[in-house]
C-alpha cells in the first residue's frame, strides 16, 4: 500500500534529508514508537521499516528503546512465579 503525506518543505530542510530518506526516517520513528507502546510486535516493526530483526534492534538502540518490552503485569507474574 502506498500512503501520500504532505510535508512542509521546511521539514526537509531541517533534517537535510532527501524525500526518500525522510520517508524512511518517518517509518523507522513510527515503528520504534509503536513497538515501545506495545502496539506492534518486533516482526511487524521490522516489516514496517523493511529490515531484519538485528537491524530493528539497532534502530531501537538508537532511539533508546529496549528490545525487551514487558508489561508491569507480566513482570509481576514472572516475579511471583520465580518465588514459588
pLDDT (tens digit per residue) in 20-74? 899 999 999 999 999 999 899 999 999 999 999 999 999 999 999 998 876 677 6
Asked if residue 2 belongs to a domain, the reply is no
pTM score, two decimals? 0.77
Q: Quick check: is 5 in a domain? A: no
Distance CA 41, CA 34 (A): 9
- Residue 52 resides in a domain: yes
Q: Which long-range contacts (CB under 8 A, 24 or more apart) does 51-56 make?
A: 56/31
Q: What's residue 17's pLDDT?
A: 86
Query: Is 45 within the bounds of a domain?
Result: yes
Is residue 3 one of the residues assigned to a domain? no
Q: Hunting for cell 537491524 — which residue is that?
A: 55
The answer to whether residue 1 is domain-embedded is: no
Judged against a pLDDT cut of 80, whether residue 78 lies above it is answered with no
Radius of gyration of the chain (CA): 17
> Where in the sequence is the domain holding 60, given as residue range(s)?
10-83
Torsion angles phi and psi, residue 82, rounded to 5: -70, -25
What's the confidence (pLDDT) of residue 73?
73
48: which residues sit within 8 A by CB, 6+ positions away?
27, 30, 31, 34, 40
Q: What pLDDT does residue 11 have?
A: 76
Tell me whether residue 23 is in a domain. Answer: yes
> Given pLDDT bands bounded at 50, 70 and 90, which one contains residue 84?
low
Number of domains comprising the chain: 1
Amino acid at each position: 500500500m502506498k500512503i501520500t503525506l504532505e510535508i512542509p518543505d521546511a521539514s526537509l530542510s531541517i533534517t537535510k534529508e532527501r524525500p526518500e530518506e525522510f520517508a524512511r526516517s518517518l517509518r523507522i520513528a513510527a515503528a520504534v514508537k509503536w513497538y515501545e507502546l506495545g502496539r506492534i510486535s518486533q516482526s511487524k516493526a521490522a516489516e514496517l521499516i523493511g529490515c531484519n530483526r538485528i537491524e530493528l534492534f539497532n534502530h531501537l538502540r538508537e532511539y533508546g528503546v529496549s528490545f525487551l518490552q514487558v508489561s508491569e503485569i507480566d513482570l509481576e507474574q514472572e516475579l511471583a512465579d520465580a518465588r514459588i
